[in-house]
Amino acid sequence: MARKFFVGGNWKCNGTTEEVKKIVSTLNEGQVPPPDVVEVVVSPPFVFLPLVKNLLRPDFHVAAQNCWVKKGGAFTGEVSAEMLVNLGIPWVILGHSERRQILNETNEFVGEKVAYALSKGLKVIACVGETLEQRESGTTVEVVAAQTKAIAERVSNWADVVLAYEPVWAIGTGKVATPAQAQEVHFELRKWFHANISPEVAATIRIIYGGSVNGANSKELAVQPDVDGFLVGGASLKPEFIDIIKSAEVKKSA
Ligand code: PEP
């Protein structure tokens, strides 16, 4: 079954109003494959979500970079899933390694967040990935399986989940995983879904790669059989994001 190529742009904690408008106008002018070939979702900081949603071309969508683990209330500084739904924001990124590492979000907490966001009707880009130390000690598959299991224990419908494999050592470092390294982990994750969830979910879930993807390396990653797209950080702020989106064409003809 065909899995539609997915390209997400994680703008992280970057941008002024003027810079955001400039990025959006570059995206709006970009010549990219049609929506039946590639799904494009960009994720500005919370404060720019309404602006980006209003200015962005209709075939691209927006994601928040996080949301609170349950219903809103006395949680200073947090943004609830209900608020995102109220604003018409369809997607949210959860479990990004920067939040896991800097803000100590555990596998269980991320699993709860994913379950709550889905229950409110949001679609989720759920991130997993190993540190350099874990890779070097040979525990990569174990680590990403445990992160995925903590989500699986709380989620029964995977239709609105995109899983982003993002090795921590490749994020923002310029040290991209080789196509073989990415394919190996994506293959193992799909195998995990086959064994632990169902053959259907294994065949249909989109597993995207993130970590120093750019306009020059995206095509060779895109052709890997279990790579269904990308989550892009730094390069999503630059015009080369359009080239990354275009790698969906390479996938289509692979
Ligand atoms: C990310 O933060 O999700 C990411 C993949 O960043 P970068 O592309 O900059 O490595």
pLDDT band at 252 (very low <50, low <70, confident <90, very high): confident
- Whether pTM > 0.75 for this model: the answer is yes
CB 129 less than 6 A from any atom of ligand 1:
no
Identify the active-site residue in 39, 61, 96, 186. Answer: 96
pLDDT band at 254 (very low <50, low <70, confident <90, very high): low
186 as an active site residue: the answer is no
pLDDT digits (tens, 9 = 90+) for 100-153: 999 999 999 999 999 999 999 999 999 999 999 999 999 999 999 999 999 999
Nearest CA among 33, 92, 25 for reference residue 57:
25
CB 215 less than 6 A from any atom of ligand 1:
no
pLDDT digits (tens, 9 = 90+) for 9-49: 999 999 999 999 999 999 999 999 999 999 999 999 999 99
End-to-end CA distance of the chain: 15
Residue ranges covered by each domain of the chain: 5-253
Query: CATH homologous superfamily for 5-253?
Result: Aldolase class I (3.20.20.70)
CB 8 less than 6 A from any atom of ligand 1:
no
pLDDT digits (tens, 9 = 90+) for 237-247: 999 999 999 99
Q: What percent of the chain has pLDDT over 90?
A: 97
pLDDT for residue 2: 85
Classify residue 225 by burial, with Cβ atoms within 10 Å: 0-12, 13-18, 19+. exposed
Give the atom of ligand 1 at the shortest distance from the alpha carbon of 234.
9
Contacts of 253 (CB under 8 A, 6+ apart): none
194 as an active site residue: the answer is no
Three-state SS string over 182-242 comes to HHHHHHHHHHHHHHHCCHHHHHHCEEEEECCCCCCCHHHHHCCCCCCEEEECHHHHCCHHH
Per-residue tokens: 53: 């949603």
Average pLDDT over residues 177-205: 98
